[in-house]
Amino acid sequence: MKTYRVAILGCRSRGRAAARAYHLHPRTEVVALCDLEPARLEALGGELGVAARYIDLDQMLDQERPDLVAIPTGTEFHYRLVMRVLERGFHVEVEKPMCTNLEEADAMVALAQARGVRLAAHHQGRVGPPMRALEQALADGRIGQLRHVQGSGKGYYAGYGLMNIGTHMLTNICGVAGACRSVAVLGLVAGRRPTPEDVQVAPGGMGVVVGERLTAVLEFGDNVSGVLLQHRFPKVDSAGYMMEVYGTEGRLCWKTGGLWWLPVPHFVPGGPAWEPLETPGLPGFVPSQADASDYAFADEFVRALDEGREHLCGGWAARHVLEIMMGIFASVVSGGRVELPQVDRRHPLVRWREEAGLGPAAAGSRDYAQWLAEEDRRLGRE
């Protein structure tokens, strides 16, 4: 069976994680690394035994001709880098979110289709062992008929958290409930409704965002509803990052570290307790050498390429998640329900500022902690 040749573009933390997963998988080989910092190339190349190290993307593509290019770079670079690689006819996986607006997402999906290659966003939790176990539990009827899904973030400033972590959670929610039909949102900044002046350039190159707290109600088919909570906490708290799946006969709770089952539809203190469910193993996976979900993502890409199909986190699915996120911002702007897909593909927050006679939002710090301090000062908090 074919071994797929993989090149890594960007050797920081997410690049190292992707490289280790592809290096470990028996059907993929990391053949080249590319980064602007020689020290990062030397460190990762030495760890994995990859001799082909480049600082020029086009030179790497010309000389190595990989089957797949992983692009775990800063979000603001995703669009132009992905388009360069797709134009050359290579399969691509890109770090989440795939880009920062629907116009770019549309172009990326269209170019992948035109070139006959696969595009996927690195929503690794969607294919990791806990989500696989959740899908099996649903198929086994453990909670009866699906009725509601709720996901929550880690306590980041909501607009930033939506683009950073909400993209993962929405991918998982859609993996359970299917395509989202509409979204309605309550957005708050300092306890009030946001205005165009509250639109900010997010740290980390995540584009423009709004909202310190976002509570989104999602509509799905088959009489299923959902809620996404992105609420700022005093401190980031990963313990709150979870998804609960409600059925007519029970509930499931997903976290990155496992899956739990409640055998009744409503939790009552003193009643039945949550029970851990076994998560499936990954053939060939060695815990000390890679992350399980990153390895599962690589494995899913191998299977998708073998079978000539879209990755479960493929371009269409990633664009739909971005569609929901832009719908959340559009609902903050309008104060009402937003039907999906949206007809106007422009970024709703950019459009909001333009309609208010404001120029582009000024960029703040790229560092989240510094950016948060700047935002607190803007809101009059010392």
What's the start-to-end Cα distance of the chain, in Å? 61
- Which parts of the chain sit beneath pLDDT 50? none
Token pair recorded at residue 375: 């935002």
* Type of residue numbered 99: C
Look-up: residue for tokens 């360069």?
A: 84
What are the tens digits of pLDDT across the range 227-258? 999 999 999 999 999 999 999 999 999 999 99
What does the alpha-carbon distance between residue 313 and residue 349 come to, in Å, rounded to a whole number?
A: 26
pLDDT at 37: 96
CA 206 to chain centre: 12
What are the tens digits of pLDDT across the range 362-382? 999 999 999 999 999 999 997
Answer yes or no: CATH 3.30.360.10 is held by domain 127-279+311-382.
yes
pLDDT at 273: 96
pLDDT at 157: 98
pLDDT at 361: 94
Cis previous bond, 97, omega within 30: yes
Architecture of domain 4-125+291-310 in CATH? Answer: 3-Layer(aba) Sandwich (3.40)
pLDDT at 355: 97
- Sketch the domain layout of the chain as residue ranges: 4-125+291-310, 127-279+311-382
Cis previous bond, 341, omega within 30: yes
Question: What's the pTM value of the predicted model, to 2 decimals?
Answer: 0.96
pLDDT at 294: 98
Look-up: residue for tokens 């599962």?
A: 296
Token pair recorded at residue 237: 């708290």
pLDDT at 54: 98
3-state secondary structure of 275: strand
pLDDT at 244: 98
pLDDT at 51: 97
Single out the residue of 42, 93, 91, 43 nearest to residue 65, CA to CA: 91
DSSP class of residue 157 equals -
